[in-house]
Amino acid sequence: MKTRRWRKGVILLQTLVMSVVLSMIAVMVLKWVLGRYMLTARSYRSAVTTTHATSFAQTSFATWNLNTSAVPSNGCSVLDAKTICYTTSGSGDTMRKFSIVSDEDQ
């Protein structure tokens, strides 16, 4: 009779250990999957922001039509519900620098 109770205890202990090990594996896999998702989401938002900024710059350059006196020194615009701000530096015949700032997390 003692042997049967001892076997029941061993089986219960093995079941407990296996359930803990499996749950730890599940947590590690879930953490890995969510990490990959966050990395992909950040990469996507960065690509969208870069695309919006490039589109805004091309539209602005086409509007200004290479007339450097018509280029404002700074400003903001809304494109697809995202605020894009820009600044320009340099004047006259020198090379103009066009900087665009946009928040990726909007």
Is residue 21 predicted with pLDDT exceeding 90?
Answer: yes
Within 10 Å of residue 53's Cβ, how many Cβ atoms? 19
- The count of other CB atoms within 10 Å of the CB of residue 52 is 19
Confidence of residue 48 (pLDDT cuts 50, 70, 90): confident
Task: Report DSSP state, residue 37.
Answer: H
Residue 39 pLDDT more than 80?
yes
- Residue 16's pLDDT band, with cuts at 50, 70 and 90, is very high
Q: What is the per-residue pLDDT for 3?
A: 57
Task: Supply the Cα-derived Rg of the chain in whole angstroms.
Answer: 30
Distance of alpha carbon 74 from alpha carbon 48, whole angstroms = 22
Cα–Cα separations (whole angstroms), residue 6 to 1, 12, 18, 96: 9, 10, 18, 84
Q: What is the pLDDT at residue 95?
A: 67
H helices within the chain, ranges in order? 2-64
Domain that holds residue 20: 2-102
The structure's pTM equals: 0.56
As for how many domains the chain has, the answer is: 1
Amino acid found at 9:
G
